[in-house]
Amino acid sequence: MTAADQNSAALFAALGDTTRLQLVARLCASGPASITRLTAGSGVTRQAVTKHLHVMELTGLVRSTRHGRESLWELEQRRLEDARRYLDVISKQWDAALLRLQAFVEQPENDQADQA
């Protein structure tokens, strides 16, 4: 596995949690936010939100900046673009595989018998 694959795996692992996906959605919708704002109405404790944000920070998905007494968390759009590009590559590979399968299945019957 290449370093790029490991990096992508860590990113998708970070995105593979419902709470973290909800945090990403909130940050996408509202921009930078404090822990207090991210926790409000979520039913998740501040400690849990902080833990999830730190997991995402390790993958470069979010970053925090200090503003007075609080930290504001914001999404790193570049990492979401990395995820999209990786999924695009996988999608193209699947498209190619499905086209090969379709070509095989649609071969005339005698061509398939010759190959057997």
Q: Note the pLDDT tens digit of each residue in 46-92.
A: 999 999 999 999 999 999 999 888 899 999 999 989 888 888 988 89
For the domain covering 3-115, report its CATH number: 1.10.10.10
Joined together, the tokens standing for residue 3 give 């370093």
- Residue whose pair of structure tokens reads 């990113």 in the numeric block: 11
Extents of the domains making up the chain: 3-115
Confidence band, pLDDT 50/70/90 cuts, at residue 112:
low
Amino acid 31: pLDDT: 94
Rounded Cα distance between 41 and 13, Å, is 25
**Residue 114 has what pLDDT?**
59
Six token digits for residue 114: 């010759």
For residue 27, how many C-alpha atoms fall within 13 Å in the half-sphere facing its CB?
24
Split at pLDDT 50, 70, 90, the class of 24 is very high
Q: What whole-number distance in Å separates Cα of residue 50 and Cα of residue 116?
A: 59
Residue 115 has pLDDT above 70, yes or no: no
